């Protein structure tokens, strides 16, 4: 396995990117968009699993996350996130001009790759989304949503702690311990980012029938953070393009559960069928 950097700049911000590729020519490139509050260093084992099956994984720290620039947990607009994905895909197409390309997003990143496929209709071979933030596992009180929308209008960078219970990430206590002690993780979310995620998740559900790319959609049935029911709803509306896998009793990060080898096996088999 070879590790490479894939940095890029946009709007005066420097984005830190990294990739993992097999020692032989890759079957395809998988471009990862990570979740809220984390960073791509947490996916090294995913890169290792994919390279062992002949795939390259490439990822970047989202703006305001990890080693990338920008205020923690804030965005100027949802379109900025979509444009960041476009910039990263352009970099990968330049590096791998003849390789098949897949999009892969987890949690907040799952929201983004689903919306990117719907809104931008990219020329990619397929999309993988795990635990996508289409809806949260709990319904935010209407007053909280209304307050978020008001702050988004008058003070969009107003930032609060998410209050994330990290025990809901994985049944593996070591995963939780490492997350809690990782200085590159954060729990900040601005009014603009929250409202953007909340509204784009609902928009994706409303437009699910327009999803035209192959999609592997996976969710833990016991996910206490994002809604597995919303993933089922999306799959039902999107129809035959979607391969839905609900993992019984798994939490939010299916790729970090003790059953992760089974999760990677399903992912690789799905990728192989779409080459």
Q: Work out the pLDDT band at 156, boundaries 50, 70, 90.
A: confident
Percent of the chain with pLDDT over 90: 91
92, pLDDT greater than 90: yes
User: Average of pLDDT values for 96-106?
Assistant: 97
186, pLDDT greater than 90: yes
70-87 pLDDT tens trace: 999 999 999 999 999 999
User: Average of pLDDT values for 157-161?
Assistant: 87
Q: Quote the pLDDT of residue 67.
A: 98
Q: What is the DSSP string of the chain?
A: -EEEE--EEETTEEE-EEEEE-SS--S-EEEEE--TT--GGGGHHHHHHHHHTT-EEEEEPPTTSTTS-SSTT--S-HHHHHHHHHHHHHHHHHHSTTS-EEEEEETHHHHHHHHHHHHH----SEEEEES--SSBSS---HHHHHHHHHHHHH-TT-EEE----GGGS-S-HHHHHHHHT-TT---EEEHHHHHHHHHHHHHHHHTGGG--S-EEEEEETT-SSB-HHHHHHHHHHHGGGEEEEEETT--S-GGGSTTHHHHHHHHHHHHHHT-
Q: Quote the pLDDT of residue 134.
A: 98
Q: Where are the domains of the chain?
A: 2-273
Q: Work out the pLDDT band at 152, boundaries 50, 70, 90.
A: confident
What's the whole-model pTM score? 0.96
Q: Work out the pLDDT band at 139, boundaries 50, 70, 90.
A: confident
Q: In this structure, which topology does domain 2-273 adopt according to CATH?
A: Rossmann fold (3.40.50)
Q: Quote the pLDDT of residue 230.
A: 98
């Amino acid at each position: 396995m070879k590790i490479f950097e894939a940095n890029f700049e946009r709007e005066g911000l420097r984005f830190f990117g990294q990739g993992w590729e097999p020692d032989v020519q890759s079957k395809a490139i998988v471009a990862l968009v990570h979740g809220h509050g984390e960073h791509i260093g947490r996916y090294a084992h995913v890169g290792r699993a994919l390279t062992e099956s002949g795939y390259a994984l490439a990822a970047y720290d989202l703006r305001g996350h990890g080693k990338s620039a920008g205020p923690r947990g804030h965005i100027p607009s949802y379109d900025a996130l979509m444009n960041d994905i476009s910039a990263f895909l352009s970099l990968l197409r330049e590096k791998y001009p003849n390789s098949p390309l897949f999009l892969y997003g987890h949690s907040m990143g799952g929201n983004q790759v689903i919306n990117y496929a719907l809104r931008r209709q990219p020329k990619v071979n397929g999309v993988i989304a795990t635990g996508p933030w289409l809806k949260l596992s709990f319904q935010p009180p209407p007053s909280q949503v209304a307050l978020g929308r008001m702050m988004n209008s008058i003070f969009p960078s107003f930032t609060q702690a998410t209050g994330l219970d990290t025990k809901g990430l994985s049944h593996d206590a070591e995963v939780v311990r490492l997350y809690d002690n990782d200085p590159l993780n954060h729990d900040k979310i601005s009014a603009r980012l929250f409202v953007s995620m909340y509204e784009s998740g609902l928009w994706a559900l409303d437009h699910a029938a327009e999803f035209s790319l192959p999609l592997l959609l996976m969710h833990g049935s016991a996910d206490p953070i994002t809604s597995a029911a919303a993933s089922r709803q999306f799959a039902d509306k999107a129809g035959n393009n979607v391969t839905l896998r609900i993992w019984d009793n798994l939490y939010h990060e299916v790729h970090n559960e003790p059953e992760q080898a089974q999760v990677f096996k399903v992912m690789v088999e799905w990728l192989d069928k779409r080459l």
